[in-house]
Amino acid sequence: MATETLTLGKALNTGLRKALENDPKVVIMGEDVGKLGGVFRITDGLQKDFGDQRVIDTPLAESGIIGTAVGLAIRGFRPVCEIQFDGFVYPAYDQIVSQVAKMHYRSQGKVRIPMVIRIPYGGGIGAVEHHSESPEAYFAHTAGLKVVTCANPQDAYTMIQQAIASDDPIVFLEPKRRYWEKGPVELDAPLSEAYPLHSARVARAGTDATVLAYGPMVRTCLDAATAAAEDGRELEVIDLRTLSPLDLTAAYESVKRTGRCVVVHEAPGNLGLGSEIAARITEECFYSLESPVLRVTGFDTPYPASRVEEEYLPDLDRVLDAVDRTFGW
């Protein structure tokens, strides 16, 4: 079995290539995805090899990208749309939540929109405003959409292919600050045997407290767990991977063992995913909890100027501080 070391970005590129090879109905569309290969080069080389009818450089209008992809999907194509940055998805918001999400429901199952909306999201790369946002709660709140995010190259490679193969419309969030991090990727493992798309996974086993994270924060939480282990505290880190539907099966099992839970995400805390997760864990694990479920999140501000983003973003220290507080109850 061919295992290669790839960056998360290259793993996505390789996964997209596989999807284009395997299904002639897959088309990639977005701004600058063709000759340039995307501003992050995630679609690098794909137009050269598959042509401009499979990898389509679009006019510069996000609602148009999503709206025309809806029509292509009705026609029988499987569009994979790239939104260039998180903060640019809002012009397409109406098409995503009012059209993409609801067509299957409104048509009583007769119309399917097998579409993937790729969004590089989150901060940590020193970008200007509108380039570092975490809009996942908007989409996870919308019935009819599924929302997933990858945290390592292997998941990037398999999850993008699984998302494209799925008939569900899927918002696929890519942790842009992790694009350049490397990891092993099994390239030849059949998709049918891959880890299921809408499932959380234990990223590091532990016994003392449960830390829930997704996307860019998984790396941060794993680093926190390494640091905690040096102090003799074993944290269990769960990579949620799927934000809608939420798969909290592993989280419930873990919290019932550890009695403590910290949820971590970059997005603002107010009405963020962490609120939902904390509520559900409280309902499900109430008699096992030694302390309240705590959240470590971005602040309830617009994403700040990049020179202070390190203070805005949850980091190792803030995660460890929250873990300490769960022990101090």
Partner 1 sequence: MAKGDPGVTTRGRRAAPRSKRPATAGEPELVQLLTPEGERIESAIGPDGTEYRVDFTDEEYRGLYRDLVLVRKLDAEATALQRQGELGLWASLLGQEAAQVGSGRALRTQDMAFPTYREHGVLYCRGIDPIMPLGLFRGVDQGGWDPNEFKFNMYTIVIGAQTLHATGYAMGVHMDGKTGTEDGEAVIAYFGDGATSQGDVNEAFVWASVFNAPLVFFCQNNQYAISEPLERQTRVPLYQRAGGFGFPGVRVDGNDVLASYAVTRHALDNARLGQGPSLIEAYTYRMGAHTTSDDPTRYRIASEVEAWRAKDPIARMKAFLEKQQLADADFFAAVDEQARAESVHLRERVLAMPNPEPVTMFDHVYPNGSPELDEQRAQFSKYMESFEGSAH
- Catalytic residue numbers, as ranges: 131
Which of these ranges, 164-172, 204-212, 293-301, 313-321, lies near partner 1 under the rule CB under 8 A? 164-172
Selection from 86, 92, 93, 316 nearest residue 221 by Cα: 316
3-state secondary structure of 100: helix
Candidate residues 18, 78, 104, 241; the one interacting with partner 1 per rule CB under 8 A: 104
Binding of partner 1 at residue 111 (CB under 8 A)?
yes
Q: Is the peptide bond before 216 cis (omega within 30 degrees of 0)?
A: no
Near partner 1 in 180-219, by CB under 8 A: 198
Minimum Å gap between C-beta 197 and partner 1 is 9
Binds partner 1 by CB under 8 A, chosen from 53, 188, 231, 283: 53
Q: How far is CA 12 from the centre of its chain?
A: 12
Q: How far is the CB of 271 from partner 1 (least distance, A)?
A: 18
Q: Does 108 bind partner 1 (CB under 8 A)?
A: yes
CB of 201 to partner 1, least distance (A): 16
Minimal distance, residue 172 CB to partner 1, in Å: 15
CA distance 79 to 37: 17
Site stretch for partner 1 (CB under 8 A), options 62-70, 126-134, 229-237, 267-275: 62-70
Among positions 95, 158, 161, 297, the unique one binding partner 1 when judged by CB under 8 A:
95
* Total residues binding partner 1 (CB under 8 A): 47
Query: Cβ of 193: how many Cβ atoms within 10 Å?
Result: 7
161 is a contact residue toward partner 1 (CB under 8 A): no
- Tell me, what DSSP letter sits at residue 97? I
The HSE-up count of residue 276 (CA atoms within 13 Å, CB side) is: 15
**Per CB under 8 A, 106 contacts partner 1:** yes
Q: Does 103 bind partner 1 (CB under 8 A)?
A: yes
Q: Provide the pairing of β-strand 78-82 with 26-30.
A: parallel
First-last CA distance in the chain: 49
Residue number, 4 or 32, with CB nearest to partner 1: 32
What CA–CA distances, in Å, run from 185 to 41, 164, 215?
Answer: 19, 19, 17
Kindly give, in sequence order, each residue whose CB lies less than 8 Å from that of residue 247, ignoring residues fewer than 6 positions away.
Answer: 198, 199, 200, 240, 241
Do 255 and 228 touch, CB atoms closer than 8 A?
Answer: no
Contacts of partner 1 in 127-146 (CB under 8 A): 143-144, 146
Closer CB to partner 1, residue 184 or residue 245? 245
The residues of the shown chain that bind partner 1, judged by CB under 8 A, are 27, 53, 58-59, 61, 63-64, 66-77, 79, 91, 94-95, 98-99, 103-112, 114, 143-144, 146, 166-168, 198, 244-247
